[in-house]
Structure 1
Amino acid sequence: MAYRLINFQQSEEWTAYVRNSVNYDFYHTWHYHSLEKNGDPFLFVYEESDVFIALPLLKREIANSGLYDLTSVYGYSGPISNRKFADISDQILENFKYFFLNFMNTGRYICVFCRLNPFIDQKVLIEKIGGISDNGKTVYMDLSISIEEQRTGYEKRMGRQIRHLRKMPYIIKEAKTKGEIRSFTAMYNENMLRLKAEKNYFFNEDYFAAIIKEDSCKLIVMYDGIKMICGAIIMCCGGIIRNHLSATAVDYVNQSPSKLLTDEISIIGRQLGMKYFHLGGGLGGREDSLFKFKSSFSNLFLEDSTWKFVSDTFVYNDLIKERKSDLNINYFPLYRYPEMIIK
């Protein structure tokens, strides 16, 4: 009965725990964490008898405080285990809670944020600790049905637009060359500028080149003649395919080639033996235009949840007061809100 920390240099041990888990995602892997620039990655592992529970996290320093907080990578991570969480005894779950809270206390970690994975039964464990927050609904497609049946479920206008796009002389292919990665990177970052995205949503060529080195990740692009007009990084893991990051050329936004690309990714998912295509939800869990776009492909939803746990409420509130005292917004941790400054 003990816990241990697997650091970033221990890639083989990290990979072994992930691969021995009943369910895991690409977001849990060492390779994905190796691309992370917003914190120091490590794997918290609790073991008891023949059961382990592993939780990948990022350590971040809280400026001018001597304190730290924990967060997760962009995507759906959370705890994993070599047992389904529902099959783990209540005592082991309680012991995990005890040792994890002890780890947070001794390490001066004030809080933890993590976006939970809707395809893994993580709430069974996290409910023991507390801090689960509803983040709306997330959309997915069932790839076990035929593509014809899937398309009958599209919103009618979406179906018509995709059929029209299929008649266009567009070419969809997997991209692997440096030139294609460079073109996609430029298109993607141009999209982020247009959308006024936060800086952590911008990536360079090295990031995209590194992520598609893994067999489970591919860059799928669409051309109109010699011009790249749309593309997406797709991830395949645990029977699930995802559109991780995508972009459309500014001149083609009104033609919406991403609708055709989404339909095509569902075909690729079937070819690769995936069970589900996870489209995701709206920005910040809202049922916004992004959510409406995704739900026009499918009426299948899962609960989307985040984990926002504060281990020391007194210190957490002090950090907020030091930076700004009267901000009432939904942001966690609040002291890291971009507009907050130390007085």
Structure 2
Amino acid sequence: MIISFSDNIDNIKNSIYFDKNYNKIFAEYDESNFVVIKLIKNNKISFLPLLLHKIEDYYEAYSSYGYGGIVGDIDYLSEKDFEEIIEFCKSNKIIDIFIRNAPFLNNYKIIPDKFNFFNRITYTKVLNKYASFSDLKKDLNQKIRWSINYAIRNSLDVKIKKYDEINDYDLENFYNLYNKVMSFRQTSDYYYFSKYFFEKTFKTLKEKCDLFYIEKSNKFIAASLFMLDDDYVHYHFSALDRDYSKYQPMELLMSKAIYEYGNLGYKYLHLGGGLSLDASDGLSRFKRKLSDFESKFYISKIICDKDKYNYFRDHYDIRNNLFLIKDAKY
């Protein structure tokens, strides 16, 4: 197998999560560098996009926020193949690799089982074209239909903006609402994205990124940022003001997205996963009601330099044996 660094992922139809511009957004946010490892086996080519974060004179490699993994023509790599990848990484001072495989591609199957860990279920909605929004409602879960009708009776309406229509007012409202949700969930500092971060996301991804939102009393009460591939729409960032949840705004917003993107010819809406492995949390239940099928999300952990890996874990007093040193240290 031939292994090398590449400037980009070339000549492969792939998800936006593998796009150079998408990865550079998170490279800047993480103060990391975007790289692509190119793999050639039996005249088949695949790519592994990663971010490299420096720890002293060494690096950790990991998938950007969202999903990643190996994409291309290679459908399986053996443990022997991965020994070559590990040696390549070690020679380039990469001590470990953390991969968030894309469940909608099932690309965890390319990686030997010994490196994979089941993380959670994700949910997908099949999209179709409808003559009217009323026709779509007939095909939705009864509870979702009730929620939609209740939201409409309370005068809620979904607004949709493309990247070049989004103004500072929209950014400020989305930023405030999203971080309010992160505060309620008591997430780690990493997920408190700045207003600049969201602005950069829209400006960088351009036509591949839309904002759906609902206002009440001149404030955002629900909003979602969707990303677009050729066939897939991805439910990327989303936020709901719990003070207004009784009006069922998110059910209306998601149903409008299903309707709009289906009529534009997209085939699937990947909703992502919930908050827990057992899928018992409210977010999992909400996505399950909307979805048509489920996929398994696997993460992969590959240690390339065991001596350095163990040294840094001891040096920084890190006890978690699965996730990145970067995740624990910063």
Alpha-carbon distance in 2 for matches of 1:256, 1:276: 23
Which structure 2 residue ranges, 5 or more long, are not aligned? Answer: none
Letter in 1 for 2:120: G
Point out where structure 1 has 5 or more consecutive residues left out of the alignment: 7-12
8 Å contact 1:46–1:96 — kept in the other structure? no
2:106 is the counterpart of 1:116: no
Match of 1:217 in 2: 209
Post-superposition CA distance 1:82-140 (Å, at most 9, x none): x2x33x7x7xx778535422221112222111110112242342128x41111121111
* 1:52 is the counterpart of 2:45: yes
Q: What residue is the counterpart of 1:193 in the other structure?
A: 183
Distance in 2 separating the partners of 1:168 and 1:99: 60
Residue equivalent to 1:269: 261
Distance 2:136 2:170 in 1: 34
What do residues 170-227 of structure 1 show as CA deviations (whole Å, max 9, x unaligned)? 2312231222112211221222122212122122222222222321111111122533
Aligned partner of residue 31 in structure 1, secondary structure: helix
The match for 2:58 is: 67
- 1:104 to 2:94 alignment: no
Q: Secondary structure at the match of 1:73?
A: coil
2:125 matched residue in structure 1? 141
* TM-aligned CA distance change 1:299 to 1:136, over 3 Å: same
Evaluate the alpha carbon distance shift between residue 331 and residue 256 of structure 1 in structure 2; reply closer, same or farther with a 3 A threshold: farther
In the alignment, structure 1 residue 28 sits paired with structure 2 residue 18: yes
**Separation in structure 1 between the aligned mates of residue 268 and residue 188 of structure 2, nearest angstrom:** 29
> Which of residues 155, 179, 183 in structure 2 aligns to 1:169?
155
Percent identity for Structure 1 against Structure 2: 22
SS at match of 2:290: coil
CA distance in 2, matches of 1:286, 1:308: 21
**Partners of 2:178 and 2:291 in 1: how far apart?**
25
Q: Give 1:10's aligned residue.
A: none
Aligned to 1:43: 36
For 1:48 and 1:307, the matched residues in 2 are separated by 21
Shift of 1:141: 0.8
Higher RCO, 1 or 2 (CA under 8 Å, sep at least 6)?
Answer: 2
Counterpart code for 1:132? N
Aligned pair count? 317
Q: Look up the equivalent residue of 1:140 and give its one-letter code.
A: T
Does the 8 Å CA contact 1:223/1:230 hold for their aligned counterparts? yes
User: Shift in Å at residue 234 of structure 1?
Assistant: 0.3
Query: Is the contact between residue 35 and residue 49 of structure 2 (CA under 8 Å) also seen in structure 1?
Result: yes
Code of the residue aligned with 1:139 in structure 2: it is: Y
Q: TM-score when scaled to structure 2? A: 0.85
Q: Which residue pairs with 2:67 in the alignment?
A: 76
Which of 269, 294, 316 is the matching residue for 1:301? 294
Tell me, in whole angstroms, the C-alpha distance in 2 between the residues paired with 1:126 and 1:118.
13
Deviation of 1:270 (Å)? 0.6
Partner of 1:281: 273
Rate the CA distance shift 1:205–1:103 in 2: closer, same or farther, 3 A: same
* Shift in alpha-carbon separation, 1:151–1:290, aligned structure 2, 3 A: farther
